[in-house]
């Protein structure tokens, strides 16, 4: 039985949004069909009540004014007032549901896109420019709801158009045929404008995404650019891309202006045709004065449904362009599909094994990986945390990691890379944890007290972007404290002290071993200060374990190990 979403407008965990623009729009519509139907139920009487006002006015003229019947005039006057009240009440309901449909569609688009981004992980920015993803989150979701916003009015426009056409047919076959044939033909002619507009909007959107990506890359590397004097070069590139976006916008503007003017011009021409035909019929005596007044009212009213139809077409173009961008995010294939297999609810105590290298991590021990080529042990660490694409056969307590969902692996195994990043925001939020006491303990274990003091306001202070106000060693130790606060079942640390001095490294090594005692920990390092505290050390060469033992045992018996560790000590 599917789990109910925690919020009415949410998305069920088992919902899978299609990675195709048109199917995505249908998928969204199916999930809010009730509110769309409710909007139509208000939109139809709202526009229909406006459409019937000319009929009531025409009857008031014929039955009241021409026939000099004050009673009939009063009745039809009250009918006009009643139609006005219906229009006001239905208009409020229509507007409420229009806004709701717009916001819900935009929200659901954001939810499924956010879910896709989290699922895709680093695969997203390999397949899509980061600027395009950012542009989707800043603009496309709002546009996804445009067609849903207009839907209620569009349904009212269709029904009222048909009703008015039937009324005209009953009064005059010629006028009715002009309505039934001319209206659809008028809307169909807009296809000559809408298709080019859609292409140009897509092109403009793509160029704007490139500009956003270029700006993000420039800001991220601003310090480096200043250091090498490359600011002017990137400024030139940004200026050139800005001009490309401007030209694409001007290209769109001409077509958009044509469509906007068509919303006024074509319905206006249609009104003139219907009015001219009605006037000739009235002069010929084929229709009454009241019918002429009503027909003129109909023609004036018809601008509303026709303009609504044109607006619906315009919004549908905008929505489909945005949907294509969102669908691209949904279509990114993650490195590790979430449906790789059943989630293991509980793992018994057992080793974490990488058959590709022969590394075996026993539970509750501090295991170190040493190699003359650090990239080899870094790859082993990535496989242990399943942060590499593909299947590698790593097992934990006999259970293949590929039989665990990605979220399950990430919850149980934490890999802290050699170059962890700090994000801007309050230091307390950056570190995580449940309370300040645990945060201070982790900071002490990482010997990051000086880093805490370097942030104005301490835990309440703001960390600048990427921690640029801190030294490399301070950033690394704060990142170590953050990793410790996750309290993962298996903690994998890649070169956690590479940016600190020997005295600090010695303090961190002892405190880390004591803090993680009895917990499964993996260290990727060549530092003898850290290796001295390891329970087991694996020497890795050519992708395989060459020797296993303690630091002192390997130092005595393995020349290759001794060469790596001594080199690290001399450095």
Reply yes or no on whether the pLDDT at 339 is more than 50. no
| Residue 398 CB-density burial (10 A; 0-12 exposed, 13-18 middle, 19+ buried) | exposed
Q: Tokens standing for 305? A: 């449904």
Mean pLDDT score, 187-201: 67
| Predicted structure pTM score | 0.54
531 vs 408: CA distance, rounded Å? 30
What is the signed CA dihedral for 446, 450, 452, 456, rounded to 10 degrees?
-170
User: Who has greater pLDDT, 220 or 377?
Assistant: 377
Paired sense of beta strands 399-400 and 395-396, if any: antiparallel
> Strand, coil or helix: what is 400?
strand
Tokens of 459: 């835990």
CATH of 21-330, one of 1.10.3720.10, 1.20.1560.10, 3.40.800.10, 3.90.1570.10: 1.20.1560.10
pLDDT at 544: 92
Q: What is the pLDDT of residue 413?
A: 86
Over range 215-234, report the average pLDDT. 57
Distances in Å between the Cα of 154 and the Cα atoms of 165, 340, 352 are 16, 44, 60
Kindly tell me if the per-residue pLDDT of 62 is higher than 90: no
3-class SS at 9? Answer: coil
Q: Is the dihedral of CA 40, 45, 49, 51 positive or negative?
A: positive
CATH top-level class of 352-570: alpha beta
The residues near 139 (Cβ < 8 Å, ≥ 6 apart) are 322
Q: Chain-wide mean pLDDT for the chain? A: 79
Sequence ranges of the chain with CATH classification 3.40.50.300: 352-570
- Tell me whether residue 48 is exposed, middle or buried, using C-beta atoms within 10 angstroms of its C-beta: 0 to 12, 13 to 18, 19 or more: buried
What stretch(es) of the chain map to CATH 1.20.1560.10? 21-330
pLDDT at 395 over 80: no
Among 201-215, 222-236, 286-300, 453-467, the range with the most confident prediction by mean pLDDT is 453-467
In the predicted structure, residue 9 carries a pLDDT above the cut 90: no
Q: Distances from the Cα of 30 to the Cαs of 27, 105, 112, 115, 460, in angstroms? A: 5, 11, 15, 19, 46
Q: What is the pLDDT of residue 451?
A: 85
Does the structure show a pLDDT above 60 at 389? no
- Nearest CA-CA partner of 32 in 185, 178, 151, 177: 151
The answer to whether the CB of 88 falls within 8 A of the CB of 47 is no
Measured CA distances, 217 to 87, 173, 224, 297, 562 (Å): 53, 66, 11, 58, 43
Nearest to 359 by CA among 373, 374, 336, 379: 379
The C-alpha atoms of residue 146 and residue 516 are separated, in whole angstroms, by: 54
């Amino acid at each position: 039985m599917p789990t109910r979403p925690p919020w009415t407008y949410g998305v069920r965990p088992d919902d899978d949004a299609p990675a195709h623009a048109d199917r995505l729009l249908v998928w969204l519509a199916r999930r809010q069909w009730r509110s769309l139907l409710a909007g139509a139920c208000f939109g139809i009487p709202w526009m229909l009540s406006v459409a019937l006002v000319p009929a009531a006015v025409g009857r008031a003229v014929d039955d009241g004014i021409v026939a000099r019947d004050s009673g009939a005039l009063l009745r039809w006057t009250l009918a006009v007032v009643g139609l006005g009240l219906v229009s006001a009440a239905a208009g409020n309901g229509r507007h409420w549901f229009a806004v709701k449909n717009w916001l819900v569609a935009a929200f659901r688009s954001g939810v499924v896109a956010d879910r896709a981004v989290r699922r895709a992980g680093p695969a997203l920015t390999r397949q899509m420019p980061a600027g395009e993803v950012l542009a989707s989150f800043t603009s496309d979701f709002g546009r996804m709801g445009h067609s849903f916003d207009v839907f209620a009015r569009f349904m009212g426009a269709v029904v009222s158009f048909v009703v008015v056409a039937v009324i005209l047919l009953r009064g005059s076959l010629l006028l009715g045929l002009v309505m039934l044939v001319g209206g659809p033909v008028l809307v169909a002619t807009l296809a000559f404008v809408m298709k080019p507009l859609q292409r140009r909007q897509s092109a403009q959107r793509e160029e704007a995404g490139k500009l956003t990506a270029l700006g993000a890359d420039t800001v991220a590397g601003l310090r480096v650019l200043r250091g090498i004097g490359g600011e002017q070069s990137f400024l030139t590139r940004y200026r050139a891309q800005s001009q490309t976006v401007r030209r694409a916008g001007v290209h769109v503007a001409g077509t958009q202006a044509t469509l906007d003017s068509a919303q006024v011009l074509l319905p206006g021409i249609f009104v003139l045709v219907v009015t001219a035909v009605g006037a000739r019929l009235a002069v010929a005596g084929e229709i009454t004065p009241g019918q002429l007044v009503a027909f003129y009212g109909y023609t004036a009213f018809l601008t509303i449904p026709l303009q609504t139809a044109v607006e619906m077409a315009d919004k549908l173009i905008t929505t489909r362009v945005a949907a294509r961008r969102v669908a691209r995010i949904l279509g990114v294939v993650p490195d590790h599909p979430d449906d790789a297999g059943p989630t293991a609810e509980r793992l018994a105590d057992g080793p974490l094994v990488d058959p590709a290298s022969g590394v075996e991590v026993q539970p509750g021990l501090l295991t170190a990986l040493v190699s003359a080529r650090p990239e080899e042990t870094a790859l082993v660490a990535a496989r242990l945390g399943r942060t590499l694409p593909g299947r590698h056969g790593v097992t934990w307590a006999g259970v293949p990691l590929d039989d665990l969902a990605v979220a399950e692996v990430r919850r149980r195994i934490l890999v802290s890379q050699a170059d962890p990043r700090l994000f801007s925001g309050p230091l307390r939020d950056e570190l995580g944890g449940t309370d300040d006491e645990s945060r201070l303990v982790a900071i002490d274990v990482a010997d990051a007290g000086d880093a805490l003091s370097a942030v104005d306001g301490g835990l309440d202070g703001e960390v600048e972007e990427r921690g640029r106000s801190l030294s490399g060693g301070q950033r690394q130790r704060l990142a170590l404290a953050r990793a410790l606060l996750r309290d993962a079942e298996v903690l994998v640390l890649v070169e956690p002290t590479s940016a600190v001095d020997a005295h600090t490294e010695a303090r961190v090594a002892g405190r880390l071993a004591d803090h993680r005692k009895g917990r499964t920990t993996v260290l990727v390092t060549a530092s003898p200060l850290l290796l001295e505290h390891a329970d087991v050390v694996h020497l890795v060469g050519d992708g395989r374990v060459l020797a296993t033992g303690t630091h002192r045992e390997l130092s005595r018996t393995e020349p290759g190990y001794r060469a790596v560790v001594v080199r690290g000590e001399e450095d």
